[in-house]
């Protein structure tokens, strides 16, 4: 219930700011209905993400789950992909010019090497 109240407050503030900038009015009923819509979407999204992670045999939701969820919204998927690529680029350590240690090529008694 506290989450829904916080959501109602945040949406109300956003709607008020937009109404002021565009010289419009919004009723409390509109803000309440929009809050219910957003809350329901959050519930559905969280259930889908949990299901995707569970299907993948994981207990933790990862970026692959989020990308799978966005697959039917090309604009959102593109925005998320660009953001993810930028985050990955920032995480890569700067190349210091040193040789990197060689990766292990075979795991003893396990067949293929893990990379």
Q: Domain check: are 54 and 78 in the same one?
A: no
Give residue 93's pLDDT: 73
Domain coverage including residue 27: 1-59
Domain CATH code at residue 47: 1.10.20.10
Q: Domain check: are 25 and 66 in the same one?
A: no
**Number of folded domains that form the chain:** 2
Q: Domain check: are 20 and 64 in the same one?
A: no
Give residue 94's pLDDT: 60
Neighbouring residues of 114: CB distance < 8 A, sequence distance ≥ 6: 104, 107
CA angle at residue 70 from 63 to 8, to 5 degrees?
95
Q: Domain check: are 14 and 54 in the same one?
A: yes
Q: Domain check: are 25 and 35 in the same one?
A: yes
Print pLDDT tens along the chain (115 aa): 899 999 999 999 999 999 999 999 999 999 999 999 999 999 999 999 999 999 999 999 999 999 999 999 999 999 999 999 999 999 987 655 555 555 554 444 444 444 4
Between the alpha carbon of residue 62 and those of residues 25, 59, 70, 84, 106, the distances in Å are 40, 10, 13, 12, 28
Q: Domain check: are 47 and 1 in the same one?
A: yes
Domain-located, residue 97: no
Nearest C-alpha neighbor of 39 from the set 10, 68, 74, 72: 10
Q: Domain check: are 64 and 41 in the same one?
A: no
């Amino acid at each position: 219930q506290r989450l829904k109240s916080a959501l109602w407050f945040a949406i109300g503030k956003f709607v008020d700011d937009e109404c002021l900038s565009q010289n419009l009015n919004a009723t409390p009923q509109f803000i309440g209905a929009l809050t219910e819509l957003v809350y329901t979407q959050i519930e559905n999204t969280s259930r889908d993400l949990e299901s995707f992670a569970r299907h993948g045999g994981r207990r933790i939701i990862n970026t692959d789950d989020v990308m799978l969820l966005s697959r039917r919204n090309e604009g959102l998927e593109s925005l998320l992909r660009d953001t993810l690529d930028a985050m990955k680029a920032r995480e890569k350590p700067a190349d210091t010019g040193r040789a990197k240690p060689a990766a292990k090529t075979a795991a003893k008694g396990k067949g293929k090497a893990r990379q």
